[in-house]
Homo-oligomer: A and B are copies of this chain.
Amino acid sequence: MNVMPFPKPRRLGKVNVPTVTLAHGGGGKAMKDLIDDVFVSAFDNGTLAPLEDQARIDLAAVAAQGDRLAFTTDSFVVDPVVFPGGDIGKLAVCGTVNDLAVGGARPLYLSCAAIIEEGVSLDLLRQIAGSMAEAARDAGVGIVTGDTKVVHKGACDKLFLTTTGVGVSGKVWNSAPSRRPGDMVLVNGLLGDHGAAILGARGDMALESPIESDCAALHGLIEALLAAAPGTRALRDATRGGLATVLNEIADASDTEIEIDETTTPIREEVKGFCEILGLDPLYLANEGKVAAVVPPEEADAALSAMQAHPLGAGTRIIGTVKDGEPGRVTMRTVFGGRRIVDMLVGEQLPRIC
């Protein structure tokens, strides 16, 4: 398991307890101590407001970077909270950074709200806060304000995090319906690792070597892609619902058909095997570090090279094309030469995957 570095566990100064109690949620001294000890010490940065308060950000500095403020939010309820390749804290930072990046925005600031179950160990909280701090530093964003609530044992499952991000867009890069037949579909590497990592961590499968989550902040990769292929027509991070879901959304929004090729769609053999045994389709497995891009054909080579040159894009492949077929449909050309429909997921494949 790939545990993130975190501040050395130390005992709370004034509240000498190893687990979170309801007192930590009461708004009083114990809560202040918890926030200071766990979160403020981990997130420490120039802009961090005392948690519970508001952050104040210089608007001129923001407006100098672009003309649109981007604003997005996401809750994270992943079970288990620590898994190979990351934890809920890393996920909460990368997920919201990616939501900003796929809209063409430069991520700037995050808020973090934590709902904590009574009885969670302070060491676990410190580990997760440390992961968040490290992921935020890596992504160049500041966690500048936050909140904590503590609920009775049984009223939530360990820890839920909600991160909200603000960023700025240079020009309004718009992934509106503008896909055209001939456009190419790229993805930056192996699909389904996050979903497989979570299932593995839940013990649903005994794996010889655990599959690690692909959890990563994609804004650098996306910046490189947009520089090389400014005509990029659509970007979506393939999280819940997997690649299949985002391709359906793209096809639906643009009234085009998308056809992908099974032979070039990168999926790890272990993930394929895993899915076969569990009766899952890896195209619907969640990713936390994969983006699907639709680029015009004349920019496809440049996009491919730029993405492959980035550390998070070494495995980039062109996996399909936009076709003048049935509007909103996604199909896959199989290894056997047939075609199958890759439909929108109607129900639930895997709960609490992110």
Which B residues are in CB contact (< 8 Å) with A63? 59-60, 63
8 A Cβ contacts from A58-98 to B: 58-60, 62-63, 66-77, 79
A26 touches B103 (CB 8 A): no
Residue-wise interface mask of A (17-39) relative to B, using a CB-CB cutoff of 8 A (1 in contact, 0 not):
00001111111111100000000
Indicate if A154 sits at the interface (CB-CB under 8 A).
yes
Given known A-B contacts A71-B166, A77-B155, A345 and B241 have beta carbons under 8 A apart: no
8 A Cβ contacts from A240-268 to B: 240-242, 245
A56 touches B69 (CB 8 A): yes
Which of chain B's residues has its CB closest to A152's CB? B351
Indicate if A352 sits at the interface (CB-CB under 8 A).
yes
A111 touches B59 (CB 8 A): no
A21 touches B69 (CB 8 A): no
Most central of A27, A115, A157 by chain B CB within 10 Å: A27
8 A Cβ contacts from A6-53 to B: 21-31, 49, 53
Given known A-B contacts A112-B73, A152-B351, A346 and B160 have beta carbons under 8 A apart: no
Q: Told that A56-B70, A150-B351 touch, could you supply 12 new A-B pairs with CB distance under 8 A?
A: A21-B348, A25-B240, A26-B348, A30-B348, A56-B68, A58-B67, A73-B146, A73-B164, A113-B164, A115-B160, A156-B160, A164-B164
- Residue among B73, B79, B169 making CB contact with A147, cutoff 8 Å: B73
Given known A-B contacts A69-B56, A72-B55, A241 and B27 have beta carbons under 8 A apart: yes
Which B residues are in CB contact (< 8 Å) with A103? 53-54, 56
Residue-wise interface mask of A (326-354) relative to B, using a CB-CB cutoff of 8 A (1 in contact, 0 not):
00000000000000000011111111100
User: Separation in Å of the A183 CB from the closest CB of chain B?
Assistant: 21
Copies in the complex: 2
Given known A-B contacts A77-B155, A351-B150, A29 and B346 have beta carbons under 8 A apart: yes
Most central of A68, A147, A286 by chain B CB within 10 Å: A147
- Residue among B72, B111, B239, B344 making CB contact with A71, cutoff 8 Å: B111
A148 to B75, CA, bound (A): 7
B54 touches A59 (CB 8 A): no
A212 to B96, CA, bound (A): 37
A86 to B26, CA, bound (A): 21
A347 touches B30 (CB 8 A): yes
A27 touches B72 (CB 8 A): no
Residue-wise interface mask of A (154-178) relative to B, using a CB-CB cutoff of 8 A (1 in contact, 0 not):
1111001010111111001000000
A149 touches B77 (CB 8 A): yes
B71 touches A347 (CB 8 A): no
User: Separation in Å of the A26 CB from the closest CB of chain B?
Assistant: 4
Indicate if A275 sits at the interface (CB-CB under 8 A).
no
B344 touches A29 (CB 8 A): yes
Name 5 interchain pairs, CB-CB below 8 A, sorted by A.
A27-B239, A28-B344, A31-B240, A63-B63, A79-B155
Indicate if A145 sits at the interface (CB-CB under 8 A).
yes
Which B residues are in CB contact (< 8 Å) with A57? 68-71
User: Separation in Å of the A27 CB from the closest CB of chain B?
Assistant: 3
User: Separation in Å of the A113 CB from the closest CB of chain B?
Assistant: 4
A59 to B160, CA, bound (A): 31
Which B residues are in CB contact (< 8 Å) with A349? 26
User: Separation in Å of the A107 CB from the closest CB of chain B?
Assistant: 10
